[in-house]
Amino acid sequence: MKYLHSIRLKLTVWYTLILGVTLFGFGVTSYLYTQEKLLANLDLSLRNEVVWLKNFIEPQARKVKLKRQRVKPLTSTKKQQEKKVRRSHEVEVVEDDSTEFDQIWNQIYEHTLLSPKKQIIQIRDRNGDILYKSYSLGKEDIIFEDIPFNTTKLVTIYDAQGQALRLAVTQNAFTKIYVAYPEAEISEVLGNLFSIFIIFVPAAIILSVLGGWFLANKSLAPVDKITKTARDITALNLDQRIEPVDVDDEIGRLISTFNDMIGRLQSSFEQIKQFSIDASHELRTPLTIMRGEIELALRSKQSSDEYRQVLSSTLDEILRMSSIIENLLMLAKGDIGKSTFKFEEVPLAPIIKELYEDSEMLAEKKHIHVSLESVDDVTVSGDTVRLRQLVLNLLDNAIKYTPEKGTIALSLVKENGSAKIIVKDNGIGIPEEEQAKIFDRFYRVDKGRSREMGGTGLGLSIAQWISETHGGRIFVQSEVNKGSVFTVVLPLARE
């Protein structure tokens, strides 16, 4: 039953139906066209034959008539006695002693031999007596009375056996000319053509069904393989792929796209898995610290200062966990499109100057010098709070990874229709192979120093998310032990 709903069957049926309709239309058109052409050519041939006979006999008959005017007319009985009859298997000529008439019929007879054998020629005089007749189809006379004068008429008549004849007739002052051809010849040709179609069309349809089914099976075999592979793939074996094909066709592109999709799913699952591990680790660490300090405080009686110290450390860890959870929640909302941004025209210069002053206080503990190199007057369309968070995360990251007495430079420039926020430091730098990963969540270049620096591993991820949400981008240039340059490019607000 599954084949009744398969694409193979539908393709085969449609292919066969289209081919059948095409062959039927071609057959009908060919039949009608051939019939029309055969009849038209027959009429033209008959007309030309009549015209030739008329043009040949008429001048000869004038000459003979002038000569016979000197001869005394004979009576009917005497005419019958003096007439001579010459017969052959094809031609009957009734003639008298005139050599001129004899030459006329001989030339017509020779002409008849060059014409189609089944063509019938009959010539009568003005009184209706037969002067010449070819009777290759029989000895019946052609009888037709409505003959135009000096004009050829084409009609269909029937002989004594009921067979249709296509007849061309005309008459002049001397003779009546009949030229006929049996339409059975044309019917036979058309019948043969019809028989060819009757045999060919069903055979072509049968071959199309078999060929269509074979081609559909061959073409859709990779689809079955894709279906089976897709059914077997789970979260535990995302490394499985469909074997690609060498042909760059629709199936090949489908397989390539499917493999790319599985690759992206595998990458996403791995990121989720790694994210879960990292998040668990980040949350477990402060919980472990709080649990250890509280258990130690409960084992023995402590002084009030010692209890305050334990509570202060616990509060720091709680704040750390709260910060991680808030940042994760913010990124999660961004991933599903649930975060809210209040977009408006935001002048960046005041924000940059304000954050520069804040960064000076943050960097004072490490004796880091923060400078404001240039601030252009630019306006972007964005959320003021998120833009402040973006720049503050970059400054905080620079302060964390810049050694004591280092330098940090902050600048805002207008360039090529965009606003560029640049944060430059001379800190520890980032290895080239690590630079593509620093915007991943919970990723840290120096994992051993992550806790003492107080980071959560989410600052750069949040900065990237904010910049992309504002239609911008963020990138880094860095060299180990020489520092890093983070650049944020944002589109300017429309004037």
Q: Which of 442, 438, 441 is nearest to 450 (CA)?
A: 442
| pLDDT, tens digit, 9 for 90 and up, residues 29-44 | 988 998 899 899 989 9
Residues near 200 by beta carbon (within 8 Å), at least 6 away in sequence: 23
- Whether residue 394 is predicted with pLDDT greater than 90 in this model: the reply is yes
Lowest mean pLDDT among 81-85, 259-263, 360-364: 81-85
| pLDDT, tens digit, 9 for 90 and up, residues 439-475 | 887 776 665 555 555 556 778 888 898 999 899 999 9
| pLDDT, tens digit, 9 for 90 and up, residues 342-355 | 889 999 999 999 99
- Whether residue 69 is predicted with pLDDT greater than 50 in this model: the reply is no
Averaged pLDDT score across all residues of the chain: 79
Residue 181: count of CB within 10 angstroms of its CB:
22
The values of phi and psi at residue 383, to 5°, are: -100, 120
Cβ 205 vs Cβ 20: under 8 Å: yes
Tell me the domains of the chain and their CATH numbers: 2-189 (no CATH), 250-335 (1.10.287.130), 344-491 (3.30.565.10)
Transcribe 70-101 into DSSP letters: TSPPPPHHHHHHH-EEEE-SSEEEEE-S-HHH
50, 83, 91, 125, 358 from 131: Cα distances, Å? 15, 11, 11, 6, 131
Look at 83 and 486; give whichever has higher pLDDT. Answer: 486
- Whether residue 238 is predicted with pLDDT greater than 80 in this model: the reply is no
Residue 109: count of CB within 10 angstroms of its CB:
17
Would you call 483 helix, strand, or coil by DSSP? strand
Confidence of residue 409 (pLDDT cuts 50, 70, 90): very high
Lowest mean pLDDT among 289-298, 378-387, 423-432: 289-298
Cβ 131 vs Cβ 123: under 8 Å: yes
For residue 457, count CB atoms less than 10 angstroms from its CB and return exposed for 0-12, middle for 13-18, buried for 19 or more: buried
Residues near 61 by beta carbon (within 8 Å), at least 6 away in sequence: 104, 174, 175
Lowest mean pLDDT among 94-103, 253-262, 371-380, 402-411: 94-103
The values of phi and psi at residue 274, to 5°, are: -65, -40
* Alpha-carbon gap, residue 217 to 230, rounded angstroms: 19
- Identify the bridge partners of residue 344 per DSSP, sorted by sequence position: 382
